[in-house]
Amino acid sequence: MYYLDLIEIKRLTKDLLPRARDHQVDERLRGWNWFDSPIRPYSNELLLPVWDIACSICPTRRDAWIRHKILRRSVPTTVHQAKGFIVHKLISSMFLKAKKLVYLGYNELRDELIRNAEESIKKEISEMKKNIDISDKDVDDLTDFCKQIARWQATRIESKVLEIKAKYPFLNEESLVQLSFPIATEIVVDGSLLGLSKYLRADAAWMLGGIIFDVKLGRKEEWHRLQVAGYALAFESIFERPVDIGCTIYVSKAGSNIRIDRDFYIISDYLRSSFLEKRDELQMMLLKDEEPDIASNCPKFCVFRSFCLK
Ligand code: SF4
């Protein structure tokens, strides 16, 4: 999922990174300026998850209000989002398991990774069914799709480890892990300086810094980049190092195969300020404690329809 191909490496090194260096982000929009406007949050009392701020499924943001004021837990607004959470977990759990296997001295990882992934898919889907209404057909489709992803990813991981081992046959486990997995997955960062959750979890980041990855299902949506901008700001507020590049990885079905598209972009001033604007608006709305109106054009896939449109 996170191994780049030759074209992507060329684009990154010859185009995106030089452009990011030439057109530096406005210093006021770096996360390390969290004590000053416009990074300073409207309130430090209400800490919000990044995805809750970035995603705009409900036109009046009533979905966020239902989560915070009624349910008081982090429930996705659509079945599609819930499926996305499962795919996220699957991918990061496979990287974690692969690292453990390398440390334990396993030579062949693929079969063990697939076996482990299939157990975790079953567990995650049964958890999801407790929170959200999902048809049996959707469950079967999701299970098949996750298994496809697991097989593909297990093969990629094993081949990467074997490639590194063939190049450096005498590496110890620590070096083998570092070279085979140049990304850290499920990175937890405290976003409270920015009015964000204390327990933000980005899907992955380049070990040497500067790039954040986020996995999404299906088609591109504008808010996906905003979500990565939110993580970048939080990283900068804690680590005081610039995060200039985002990458949203789109995973979808293509007949009997899976398709992976990686969208690389600069985390620009525009993305940063749009995220901050949405953060302030949502904090203000929730702190005022006014119930938002029911939208006039509710998307048909919103899981809160039974709540709002009784
Ligand atoms: S049902 Fe409509 S008003 Fe309610 S949260 Fe969903 S989109 Fe918003």
What is the distance between the terminal CA atoms of the chain, rounded to a whole angstrom? Answer: 42
Q: How remote is the CA of residue 310 from the centroid of ligand 1, in Å?
A: 11
Residue 297: what pLDDT? 87
- Which band of pLDDT confidence, cut at 50, 70 and 90, is reported for residue 69? confident
Question: How far from chain centre, in Å, is Cα 184?
Answer: 13
Amino acid at 61: R
Q: How remote is the CA of residue 64 from the centroid of ligand 1, in Å?
A: 10
pLDDT over 90 (residue 302)? no
Yes or no: say if 274 and 229 are a contact pair by the CB < 8 Å rule.
yes
Q: What is the mean pLDDT of residues 289-303?
A: 86
Q: What is the pTM of this model?
A: 0.90
How many CB atoms are located within 10 Å of the residue 240 CB?
10
- Which band of pLDDT confidence, cut at 50, 70 and 90, is reported for residue 176? very high
- Per-residue 3-state assignment (H helix, E strand, C coil) for the chain: CCCCCHHHHHHHHHHHHHHHHHCCCCHHHCHHHCCCCCCCCCCCCCCECHHHHHCCCCCCCHHHHHHHHHHCCCCCCEHHHHHHHHHHHHHHHHHHHHHHHHHCCCCCCHHHHHHHHHHHHHHHHHHHHHHCCCCHHHHHHHHHHHHHHHHHHHHHHHHHHHHHHHHCCCCCHHHHHHHHCCEEEEEEECCHHHCECCCEEEEEEECCCCEEEEEEECCCCHHHHHHHHHHHHHHHHHHCCCCCEEEEEEEEEECCEEEEEEEEEECCHHHHHHHHHHHHHHHHHHHHCCCCCCCCCCCCCECCHHHHCC
Q: What is the pLDDT of residues 138-166, one digit of tens each?
A: 888 889 999 999 999 999 999 999 999 99
> Percent of the chain at pLDDT above 70?
99
Q: Is 48 in the pocket of ligand 1 (CB under 6 A)?
A: no
Q: What is the mean pLDDT of residues 268-297?
A: 93
- Which band of pLDDT confidence, cut at 50, 70 and 90, is reported for residue 174? very high
Ligand 1 atom nearest residue 57's Cα? 7
Q: How far apart are CA 310 and CA 307, in angstroms?
A: 6
Residue 300: what pLDDT? 82
Residue 248: what pLDDT? 95
Q: What is the mean pLDDT of residues 7-12?
A: 92
For atom 8 of ligand 1, which residue has the closest CA?
Answer: 58
Residue 118: what pLDDT? 93
Structure tokens of 104?
């334990």
Nearest alpha carbon to residue 134 among 146, 144, 126? 126
Q: Is 302 in the pocket of ligand 1 (CB under 6 A)?
A: yes
β-bridge partners, 254 = 257
Q: How far apart are CA 202 and CA 215, in angstroms?
A: 10
Residue 134: what pLDDT? 78
How many angstroms separate the most distant Cα atoms in the chain? Answer: 66
Q: What is the mean pLDDT of residues 39-56?
A: 91
Q: How remote is the CA of residue 295 from the centroid of ligand 1, in Å?
A: 6
Averaged pLDDT score across all residues of the chain: 90
Q: How remote is the CA of residue 308 from the centroid of ligand 1, in Å?
A: 6
